[in-house]
Amino acid sequence: MAERPPTTPRPETIAAIATAPGRGGIGIVRISGGGLAAFAAALTGKTPAPRRATLAEFRAADGSGIDSGLMLHFPAPASFTGEDVLELHGHGGSVVLQMLLARCLDLGARLAEPGEFTRRAFLNGKIDLAQAEAVIDLIDAASAAAARGAMRSLQGEFSQEIRRLLAQLVELRTLAEAALDFPDEEIDFPEAADTLGRIERLLAGVAELTGRARQGRLLREGLRVVLAGQPNVGKSSLLNRLAGDELAIVTPHAGTTRDVVRATLHLEGIPLRVIDTAGLREAGDEIERIGIARAWREIEKADVVILLVDARQGVREADQAILARLPPGPARITAHNKIDLAGQRPERREDAGGARILLSAREGDGIDLLKQELLRIAGWRPTESVFIARERHLRALAETHGHLQASRAHLTRLELFAEELRMAQRSLSAITGEFSADDLLGEIFGRFCIGK
């Protein structure tokens, strides 16, 4: 049973500007609550027909005009929030929209909190929690692939997969609980119910869904890639080559880059946040020392560290010292740059220290090999069935997998077996919001923009 607070028969009326700040051809004020037909009549002198655009003049308290435009009324429950919803489509100027919003507040509405419209849609059963999160993911999508993944989640593909696994899990729980309730039937429950086979199929289903969810998290969060190495090995040239623009200053003089330089690009739809850092060496002055300290802080937070070395010299003692100091978390790539000067060809090599890519940032040779290595590290597989997912989804799937594995170890101890299945169901249900703490909901919806 969903752990959600009950909604009141006459919900509090909320209002907000639903379009982005600034000038535009159209601006929208959205209102949600109960009995909004009367609200609309007080604002415009008209009672709008359901789900039809009505030309109206939006009036101030003294009857003077604020703006004119279209009014749309979506009566409950056939609306986004499941409540009465009114949308006022006027001109997209910030002053006129603020005047229109102020009039709505005068009529008894209050200013909506961030994400409150979507939160009401969730609480009123119009969408589940995974779909609610997909709303903001669709708004924030930074690539076409991320937008398509968010739309699949919003349309319920992710939730349908969760519910399919939940149905199998609930069926197995039902059989286990029946065996506990009727212990005198002398039925070999594990064999009669094909318990092991069911558990194995559930484990396989959770693993497959986890893989797709991990892909979706990549589309949403991307990879943080830090370029590191000694001065004058071509870090800034590589950043410019990857970004396709002259973002960082490049000179033959060592120590040109004194601070971090950032660029965001997309690789197969995956956001790559590439960070160029100061050359790692014994600092010559205070400014350079600060730049080097910032470089190491960026390395600590990286998903991937690309250590650049000069292909003409290979990995030297100073490079080995950098490698030895790298934190254990990030994946590592050693990029042998300037192969155009070393007379070498682009190549990928593998040794005990990991992948080595021979490339030329100046000429572009070997850059595709580097991109392929980044995709390999990310675990990316091109597919059209990816949906946007979050870290909490992956944690819930991992917990579900763990409880299912534990249940397999208790096949002959029905009480423990049934308890592990119950915990697995609870973890899986948390993704769609059947079991959600209020603080989690506050954290999720608090990141939405006001008016959504």
What's the confidence (pLDDT) of residue 147? 86
In this structure, the answer to whether residues 370 and 228 fall within a common structural domain is yes
Q: How far apart are the C-alpha atoms of 270 and 316, rounded to whole Å?
A: 33
Sheet with 65-74: list strands edge to edge: 54-59, 65-74, 84-92, 24-33, 14-17, 110-111
Per the listing, tokens 């080559």 go with 241
Query: Where a domain ends, among 103, 127, 151?
Result: 127
What's the pTM? 0.73
Q: Residue 254: which pLDDT band, with cuts at 50, 70 and 90?
A: very low
Q: First and final CA of the chain: distance in angstroms?
A: 27
| Domain assignment present for 262 | yes
What's the confidence (pLDDT) of residue 256? 43
In this structure, the answer to whether residues 63 and 80 fall within a common structural domain is yes
Q: How far apart are the C-alpha atoms of 151 and 117, rounded to whole Å?
A: 18
| Domain assignment present for 448 | no
Say how far residue 230 (Cα) sits from the centre of its chain.
34
Q: Which of 90-94, 181-185, 186-190, 323-327 has the lowest mean pLDDT?
A: 186-190
Query: Where a domain ends, among 378, 401, 416?
Result: 378
Number of residues that make up the chain: 452
SS3 of residue 110 by DSSP = strand
In this structure, the answer to whether residues 280 and 418 fall within a common structural domain is no
**Which residues form the domain of 153?**
139-218+390-432
In this structure, the answer to whether residues 240 and 256 fall within a common structural domain is yes
Please give the C-alpha separations between residue 366 and each of 244, 306, 379, 402, in angstroms, as whole numbers. Answer: 15, 14, 20, 41
In this structure, the answer to whether residues 370 and 311 fall within a common structural domain is yes
Report the candidate in 263, 375, 378, 259 with the shortest Cα–Cα distance to residue 330: 378
In this structure, the answer to whether residues 237 and 364 fall within a common structural domain is yes
pLDDT tens digits for range 14-50: 999 999 888 889 999 999 999 899 999 999 999 999 9
Neighbours of 270 (CB within 10 A): 22
In this structure, the answer to whether residues 275 and 355 fall within a common structural domain is yes
Give the count of domains, the chain: 3
- The pLDDT of residue 253 is above 50: no
Q: What's the CATH number where 82 sits?
A: 3.30.1360.120
368-378 mean pLDDT: 89
Tell me how many degrees the CA angle 137-143-149 measures, rounded to the nearest 5.
Answer: 50
Cis peptide leading into residue 77 (ω within 30°): yes
Q: What's the CATH number where 147 sits?
A: 1.20.120.430
In this structure, the answer to whether residues 328 and 395 fall within a common structural domain is no
In this structure, the answer to whether residues 163 and 181 fall within a common structural domain is yes
| Domain assignment present for 5 | no
Q: What is the DSSP letter of 11?
A: P
pLDDT higher for 58 or 242?
58
Q: Which of 12-16, 187-191, 236-240, 439-443 has the lowest mean pLDDT?
A: 187-191
In this structure, the answer to whether residues 247 and 121 fall within a common structural domain is no
Question: Phi-psi category of 290—alpha, beta or left, where left has phi over 0 and alpha has psi -120 to 50?
Answer: alpha
